[in-house]
């Protein structure tokens, strides 16, 4: 058994200037990890010949597998393929199966092929071609001094297809990687440092081949146990045992023992009880509704939302009284209580979430600073409210409002569902 390290090199000026977010590296890292390969480095470089060359040299000294994404298109700035041809001392040849696929692709679209499209079928003669059935740019595999270099398209769905159908099936043939086992739980209501202090004895008692990671985000902290070993069954048993110990220790703050987001925790809970929820959102502008509707099957637990951003909408659609808005204002316990009760009745759901707050950077008063948020959760017989003061950036305040509102709903369903 060997511990295999990989490096990911992403190519493209658009990644460096923030025009495109690199989701490829995250996905590749997750998939390699499932196969027992650890990503040790991720490097982003622009469309610059010397920079790409230097990255290949540097990462080949660190890793056994180097995955390269991007730069395989038909335009002049796509320089990855000619660079790899020179890097591995090859010459360009036409790969007939790829050329056939490209011609068929353009015939289906009833569009003429340009010379640049024809060139996409050219590959270095020193590579193994990884046929791309989701696009026109093939993947390429090179070997040098026991190192594996794999070039993939930057288009996510094309990259994923080649990884799933070519690269991942090859890994057991190329490496004796052993096994990696992960177990993740989600906590809420306790900060990372306090959590670390609470479980320091359990963390210190972990065997050397099992590690604990803290992953804080949006008011929640995920705890991930990762084990590495040669026997899959034994490793799973060891990690499961340590995971149970960890769960018992943090039981007071435990949200779920699955690696899933908060909104899916709530959705699964609602589904298990055959219940539904609706939202009345002011400051979050529909963000909670967006989270609830992200996942397949969400129509079984989520019905809809009233985005009452303006006070007039709060009055006309949710029946918030003019007197309430004039006396205590939109950001108040009274307002969110009326919003929650109204949307519950309008949507005919079992539960409702209502939020109103000041996300910033403007709109604050001495009495109501940026980040002040009222949350109400309504059931058919009860309404509860919570006040928060986040005081971060606008986007961060919106995210924290949504996640905390969903967590309050989760606890409310457990207690009253």
Q: What is the band of 310 on the pLDDT scale with cuts at 50, 70, 90?
A: very high
The H-or-E segment that residue 31 falls in is helix 24-34
Which residues make Cβ contacts (< 8 Å) with residue 168, sequence separation at least 6?
31, 35
Instruction: Determine the pLDDT at residue 107.
Output: 83
Distance CA 45, CA 13 (A): 7
* 299: DSSP letter: G
Prior bond to 16 cis, omega within 30?
no
Q: Average pLDDT of the chain?
A: 94
Give the residue among 107, 133, 103, 109 at the shortest CA–CA distance from 121.
103
- Domain 262-416, architecture per CATH: Alpha-Beta Complex (3.90)
Instruction: Determine the pLDDT at residue 36.
Output: 86
Give the residue among 287, 294, 303, 309 at the shortest CA–CA distance from 404.
287
pLDDT digit string, tens, across residues 356-404: 999 999 999 999 999 999 999 999 999 999 999 998 999 999 999 999 9
Q: What is the band of 139 on the pLDDT scale with cuts at 50, 70, 90?
A: very high
pLDDT digit string, tens, across residues 168-216: 999 888 888 888 899 999 999 899 999 999 999 999 999 999 999 999 9
pLDDT digit string, tens, across residues 27-76: 999 999 888 899 999 999 999 999 999 999 999 999 999 999 998 888 77
CB contact at 8 A, 11 and 68: yes
pLDDT digit string, tens, across residues 237-292: 999 999 999 999 999 999 999 999 999 999 999 999 999 999 999 999 999 999 99
Instruction: Determine the pLDDT at residue 163.
Output: 95
Task: State yes or no: pLDDT of 319 exceeds 80.
Answer: yes
User: Which CATH superfamily does the domain covering 4-174 fall into?
Assistant: MoaB/Mog-like domain (3.40.980.10)
Parallel, antiparallel or unpaired: strands 65-69 and 147-152 = parallel
Q: Rounded to two decimals, what is the model's pTM?
A: 0.78
Distances (CA, A) of 401 to 234, 330, 410: 42, 16, 14
Instruction: Determine the pLDDT at residue 1.
Output: 61
Q: What is the phi/psi pair of residue 201, to 5°?
A: -70, -40
Parallel, antiparallel or unpaired: strands 277-281 and 210-217 = unpaired
For the chain, the domains span 4-174, 179-256, 262-416
CB contact at 8 A, 56 and 62: no
Distance CA 242, CA 185 (A): 12
Q: Degrees (nearest 5) of the Cα angle 174, 175, 180?
A: 135
Give the residue among 248, 197, 187 at the shortest CA–CA distance from 219.
187
Distance CA 148, CA 63 (A): 9
Edge-to-edge order in the sheet of strand 210-217: 210-217, 220-229, 179-188, 254-256
Distance CA 299, CA 406 (A): 17
And the tokens for 401? 């409002």
Choice between 125 and 116, residue whose per-residue pLDDT is larger:
125
pLDDT digit string, tens, across residues 65-118: 999 999 888 877 789 999 999 999 999 999 999 888 888 888 887 888 777 777
Instruction: Determine the pLDDT at residue 318.
Output: 97
And the tokens for 76? 């002049």
Q: What is the band of 317 on the pLDDT scale with cuts at 50, 70, 90?
A: very high
Tell me what the mean pLDDT of segment 311-330 comes to.
97
Where are the alpha helices (H) located in 145-284, listed in sequence order?
A: 156-162, 168-174, 192-198, 200-204, 232-249, 262-272
The H-or-E segment that residue 408 falls in is helix 394-416
Share of the chain above pLDDT 90, in %: 82
Give the residue among 148, 101, 92, 413 at the shortest CA–CA distance from 272.
413
Three-state DSSP at 276 gives: coil
Where are the alpha helices (H) located in 35-131, listed in sequence order?
A: 49-62, 80-87, 96-109, 115-119
Task: State yes or no: pLDDT of 417 exceeds 70.
Answer: no
Protein fold of 179-256: Alpha-Beta Plaits (3.30.70)
């Amino acid at each position: 058994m060997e511990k295999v390290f990989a490096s990911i090199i992403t190519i493209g000026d658009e990644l460096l200037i923030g025009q495109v977010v690199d989701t490829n590296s995250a996905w590749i890292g997750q998939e390699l990890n499932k196969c027992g390969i650890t990503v040790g480095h991720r490097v982003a470089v622009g469309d610059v010949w010397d920079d790409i060359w230097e990255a290949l040299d540097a990462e080949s000294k660190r890793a056994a597998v180097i995955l390269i994404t991007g730069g395989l298109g038909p335009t002049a700035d796509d320089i990855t393929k000619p660079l790899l041809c020179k890097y591995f001392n090859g010459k360009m040849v036409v790969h007939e199966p790829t050329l056939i696929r490209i011609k068929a692709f353009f015939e289906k679209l009833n569009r003429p092929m340009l010379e640049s499209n024809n060139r996409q079928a050219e590959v270095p003669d020193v590579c193994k071609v990884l046929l791309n059935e989701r696009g026109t740019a093939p993947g390429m595999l090179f070997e040098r001094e026991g190192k594996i270099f794999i070039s993939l398209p930057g288009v996510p769905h094309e990259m994923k297809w080649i990884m799933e159908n070519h690269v991942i099936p090859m890994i057991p043939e190329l490496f004796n990687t052993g096994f990696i086992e992960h177990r993740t739980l989600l906590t809420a209501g306790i900060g990372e440092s306090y959590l670390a202090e609470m479980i320091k004895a359990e963390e210190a008692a972990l065997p050397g081949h099992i590690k604990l990671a803290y992953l804080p985000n949006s008011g929640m902290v995920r705890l991930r146990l990762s084990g590495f070993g040669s026997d899959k069954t034994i490793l799973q048993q060891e990690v499961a045992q340590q995971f149970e110990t960890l769960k018992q220790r943090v039981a007071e703050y435990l949200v779920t023992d699955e690696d899933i987001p908060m909104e899916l925790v709530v959705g699964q809970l609602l589904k298990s009880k055959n219940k539904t929820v609706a939202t009345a959102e002011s400051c979050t502008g529909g963000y909670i509704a967006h989270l609830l509707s992200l996942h397949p099957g969400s129509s079984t637990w989520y019905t809809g939302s009233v985005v009452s951003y303006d006070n007039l909408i709060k009055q006309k659609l949710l029946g918030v009284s003019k007197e309430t808005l004039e006396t205590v204002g939109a950001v108040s316990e009274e307002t969110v209580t009326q919003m929650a009760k109204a949307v519950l009745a309008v949507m005919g759901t079992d539960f409702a979430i209502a939020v109103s707050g000041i996300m910033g950077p403007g709109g604050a008063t001495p009495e109501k600073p940026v980040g002040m948020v009222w949350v109400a959760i309504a059931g058919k017989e009860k309404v509860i409210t919570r006040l928060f003061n986040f005081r971060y950036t606008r986007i961060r305040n919106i995210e924290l409002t949504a996640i905390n509102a969903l967590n309050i709903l989760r606890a409310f369903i457990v207690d009253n569902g």
